[in-house]
Amino acid sequence: MSMTMVEKIIAAHSGKEKVKPGDLVAVDLDLVLGNDVTTPMAVNEFKKIGFNDVYDKNRIAIVPDHFAPNKDIKSAEQCKIIREFSYEKEIKNYFEIGEMGIEHCLLPEKGLVLPGDIIIGADSHTCTYGAFGALATGIGSTDMAVGMATGKAWMKVPETIKFTYTGKLNKWVGGKDLILYTIGDIGVDGALYKAMEFTGEVVDNLSMAGRMTMSNMAIEAGGKCGLIEPDETTFEYIKDIAQRDYKVYKSDKDAKYIKCYEYNVSKIEPQVAFPHLPENTRGISEVGDIKIDQVVIGSCTNGRLEDLRLAAEILKGKKKAKHIRLIVFPGTQKIYLDAVKEGIIETLIEAGAAVSTPTCGPCLGGHMGVLAKGERAVSTTNRNFVGRMGHPESEVYLTNPAVAAASAIMGKIAGPEEVM
């Protein structure tokens, strides 16, 4: 029986020769992830159920990144709970302030997410790790508690949708534009509880950062996960950092897909997702004159080194518009340091940016850039729901880093060609 990549991974982790969509199985977990928002609830459930220890001290990762450095007393208490739990249970992959980063940038950097893995995380954007050919998906805090204790989770085998990207990318178009265009086409529920499999020559030529951006936003289409077949680009990325052995799974050529989409990327220009859904996409040429108040560059979607490098390319020798607040969030301490060494941070600061320590910050309306009533932001983050970054009457427009940087200069939504 032929199987898709996700079916093969689930079969291997459930001790079965084959599985099919709709099957409900118990799977062995390779990694369990939590952050400062979701882990305290998991810790409470862990204790309430009566568990004494975690299943594997090396296969749990806890990252205080959402409201850290602590923005108030409540967030400080949240971080204290997970800090004490991590030290008590001797969890190896607990990352304190100063060494932590935005979780979905940090774990790949540390070699903790690998091809063929099953990873559950109490954060919806855990699907980022599908870029490595892993089944990575978001779960609730109770499932995290059980996963930490037993190393197992229940899972329904999802159907798979195949997305093939052909042609040649236009200038300033990258992974963010591909996934926004795709979500704009199929809608925010177009892949509900489906595995999204991204394929084709265009994906093959994307960097790991571009692939992670695409997989990161699979959840914005309702996807269970967003998978990309591992290749030489993957292996080059993990060769010196992989924390354990791994196995590569590939879809059979005659595997059955519930749907197949094919896109010629030569027709895709930089995309902008209008409020209040990621599916409300338009090409940059269709945007019109929209004045903005704030630009955010960073997050688990676009906070990697090549994203900062792209923004700096646009901003070099220029200044942001006087009325604009330009805030930059490197994904990890290493990304921050590499950006310092390359001169990227200097370029950004000279352009008028405020550069933050790694944190999720305003992405979820947390801190360090929350929007007031009536304000508009261009952001390289992944969601633009009502009130996502602040006041319910604020607006968020999602773009790639090049468009975000150009918009900061112009003081309105603008494409890179307008400032270069």
Q: What is the DSSP string of 11-54?
A: HHHTT-S---TT-EEEEE-SEEEEETTTHHHHHHHHHHHT--S-
First to last CA, the chain: 54
Tell me: the pLDDT tens digits for 42-90?
Answer: 999 999 999 999 999 999 999 999 998 999 999 999 999 999 999 999 9
Does residue 121 sit within a domain? yes
CA-only gyration radius of the chain, Å: 20
pTM: 0.94
Domain end among 227, 262, 297: 262
Q: Average pLDDT for residues 120-144, to the nearest whole number?
A: 97
Residue range(s) defining the domain that contains residue 254: 5-262
Report residue 138: phi and psi, to 5°. -80, 145
Distance CA 306, CA 309 (A): 5
Q: Is residue 420 part of a domain?
A: no
Count up the domains in the chain and report the number: 2
Place of tokens 């008590």: 88
Which residue intervals of 201-284 are DSSP H helices?
201-204, 208-216, 232-238
Place of tokens 């077949």: 229
Tokens describing residue 275: 């409020």
Q: Is the domain of 346 the same as that of 303?
A: yes
**Whether residue 320 sits in one domain with residue 236:** no
Give residue-wise pLDDT tens across range 351-379: 999 999 999 988 888 888 999 999 999 99
Q: Are residues 131 and 258 in the same domain?
A: yes
Mind listing the pLDDT tens digit for each residue in 286-345?
A: 999 999 999 999 999 999 999 999 999 999 999 999 999 999 999 999 999 999 999 999
403: which 2 tokens? 């468009």
Residues 31 and 157 occupy one common structural domain:
yes
Is there a single domain that holds both residue 318 and residue 223?
no
Are 100 and 120 within one domain?
yes
CATH code assigned at 368: 3.30.499.10
| Confidence category of residue 278, pLDDT binned at 50, 70, 90 | very high
Average pLDDT over residues 142-162: 97
Confidence at residue 365, expressed as pLDDT on a 0 to 100 scale: 85
In a shared domain, residues 305 and 246: no
Give 12's contacts (C-beta < 8 A, 6+ positions apart).
116, 247, 249
Residue 418 lies in a domain: no
List CB contacts of 203: < 8 A, sequence separation 6 or more. 165, 211, 214, 228
- Do 289 and 140 lie in one domain? The reply is no
Same domain, 231 and 350: no
292 & 347 share domain = yes
Residue at a domain's end among 262, 294, 321: 262
Q: Which of 262, 283, 314 is the last residue of a domain?
A: 262
**Does residue 233 belong to any structural domain of this protein?**
yes
